[in-house]
Structure formats: structure tokens, C-alpha cells
């Protein structure tokens, strides 16, 4: 999202001043950092946990942890990257708690090689977003991304929705760059495949099957 990237770039200089002040105990400075990133953290947490209550907890816990561990933050790296790493860890912990039947790992579900081969190859309607009302579209997008394994949707959200680089995403998730790239490709293709069911052109859609 352009606004986030713009925000990240133009805010870099005064951001360090805020972090520095917050380290020195300036709560107002920390409050400004919260205002700057709470929406992003909430979004990331919602995408990973799929639970609004959990996402609210993650927002609170992540900022509190950041505040308590500010001393450990190296000022030569980006505060946002550091914060997101904390939030991703908190989100995964929430997810693990809810899914008691099995552990949640960013490495799961990576073996589905054939799942990436496109089956829906009909073109989409010229303006697929206009086929549905805003809330219906929102439901489709939610339902679709929720069907992805956690490791895939986390990478997709960080890279494509929040606009982080492959390297930042890899660092944040403790994955290698090739692993992030492979998950991103699968995530993009799987989302495309699922969205195609809603968005493919009604007139000639079935002809290409």
C-alpha cells in the first residue's frame, strides 16, 4: 500500500527521534509510535489469527512488549520491522493456543507442489471488484485468504499488503529469502485460483476449462 511505504520513508528521521525519546522514558513519544503503526499491527494480527479478540490482544501485547524491550532495539534497524516481528510472534502464539489439535508452524503446508498449477485459466471480468458490493467483496477476500495455510498468508500479507521487502519478510519470519519467495508465489497463485471462481468473466469463462 502506497501510503504505508510513503509513511515509512518520510517518517524515518523523526521516527528515530521518537524511539530515542521513548527509550529515555518519554511516554508521549511512545504514544506517537503507537498511533503510527497500530492499524498495521491490527491488520497483520487479524490476518494471522482470524480472530478479532486475539488481534486486539496482539496489538496491546506487541506494543507493551516493544515498550518493555526498547533497550534491546538496535537503532540502526527499522523500528517498524522490529515491531512487526514481535506482533507476528504474538499472533502465531495466539493461533497455536486456539488450534490445540496441532502445532502451527510457518513451515507447514509447503509440500503441495501440484497445488500451484493453475486450473482456472479463464480471464476475469474487466472490473471484478464491481461485480460485488463493498461488504460482499470484503467477505470474499476474507474467506479466500483465510483458506491459505498460515505460513503462506503471513508471507503474502507482509509482502503484498504491507509492502515489506522479501529480505525484511525473511528476517522477520526467520526464513530464508528463497523460502519467502517460494511461499509468496504459492500464496499468490492459490489466492488467484480461489478468487477466479468469483471473478472470472461470466460470458466466456467456462469455455477455457
Partner 1 sequence: MKCSDFLKELSDYLDGKISEGLKAELDEHLHWCHECDVVLNTTKKTIEIYRDNQIYELPDPLRTRLHDAIMSKCRNSKQHKKDV
Chain residues binding partner 1 by CB under 8 A are 1, 25, 27, 30-31, 34-35, 38-39, 42-43, 46-47, 55-56, 59-60, 63-64, 67-68, 116-118, 120-124, 128-129, 134, 137-138, 141-142, 145, 156, 160-161, 163, 181, 184-185, 188-189, 191-192, 195-196, 199, 208
CB 47 within 8 A of CB 142: no
Residue among 97 and 143 whose Cβ is closer to partner 1: 143
Residue among 17 and 64 whose Cβ is closer to partner 1: 64
**Least distance in Å: CB of 77 to partner 1?**
21
Residue among 100 and 209 whose Cβ is closer to partner 1: 209
**Least distance in Å: CB of 69 to partner 1?**
9
Placement of cell 498495521 in the chain? 40
**Least distance in Å: CB of 166 to partner 1?**
8
Cα 124 → chain centroid = 25
Q: Is 187 left (phi over 0), alpha (psi -120 to 50) or beta?
A: alpha
Q: Residue 67: name the closest of 106, 21, 109 by CA.
A: 21
CB 32 within 8 A of CB 77: no
In the DSSP assignment, the letter for residue 23 is: H
d(CA 48, CA 12): 27
* Terminal-to-terminal C-alpha distance of the chain: 33
**Least distance in Å: CB of 110 to partner 1?**
15
Q: How far is CA 67 from CA 22, 47, 61, 123, 140, in A?
A: 8, 23, 10, 49, 36
Residue among 142 and 202 whose Cβ is closer to partner 1: 142
Residue among 17 and 185 whose Cβ is closer to partner 1: 185
**Least distance in Å: CB of 15 to partner 1?**
18
In the DSSP assignment, the letter for residue 133 is: -
**Least distance in Å: CB of 96 to partner 1?**
20
Residue among 30 and 79 whose Cβ is closer to partner 1: 30
Amino acid at each position: 500500500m502506497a501510503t504505508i511505504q510513503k509513511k515509512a520513508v518520510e517518517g524515518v528521521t523523526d521516527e528515530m527521534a521518537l524511539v530515542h525519546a521513548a527509550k529515555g522514558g518519554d511516554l508521549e513519544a511512545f504514544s506517537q509510535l503507537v498511533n503510527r503503526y497500530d492499524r498495521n499491527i491490527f491488520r497483520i494480527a487479524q490476518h494471522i489469527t482470524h480472530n478479532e479478540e486475539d488481534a486486539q490482544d496482539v496489538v496491546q501485547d506487541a506494543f507493551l512488549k516493544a515498550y518493555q524491550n526498547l533497550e534491546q532495539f538496535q537503532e540502526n534497524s527499522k523500528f517498524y520491522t522490529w515491531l512487526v516481528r514481535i506482533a507476528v510472534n504474538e499472533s502465531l502464539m495466539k493461533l497455536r493456543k486456539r488450534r490445540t489439535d496441532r502445532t502451527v508452524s510457518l513451515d507447514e503446508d509447503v509440500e503441495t507442489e501440484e497445488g500451484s498449477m493453475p486450473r482456472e485459466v479463464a480471464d476475469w471480468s474487466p472490473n471484478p471488484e464491481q461485480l460485488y458490493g463493498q461488504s460482499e467483496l470484503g467477505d470474499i477476500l476474507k474467506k479466500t485468504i483465510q483458506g491459505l495455510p498460515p505460513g503462506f498468508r503471513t508471507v503474502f500479507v507482509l509482502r503484498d499488503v504491507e509492502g515489506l521487502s522479501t529480505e525484511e519478510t525473511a528476517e522477520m519470519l526467520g526464513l530464508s529469502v528463497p523460502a519467502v519467495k517460494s511461499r509468496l508465489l504459492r500464496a499468490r497463485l492459490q489466492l488467484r485460483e480461489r478468487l477466479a471462481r468469483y471473478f472470472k468473466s461470466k460470458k466466456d469463462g467456462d469455455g477455457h476449462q
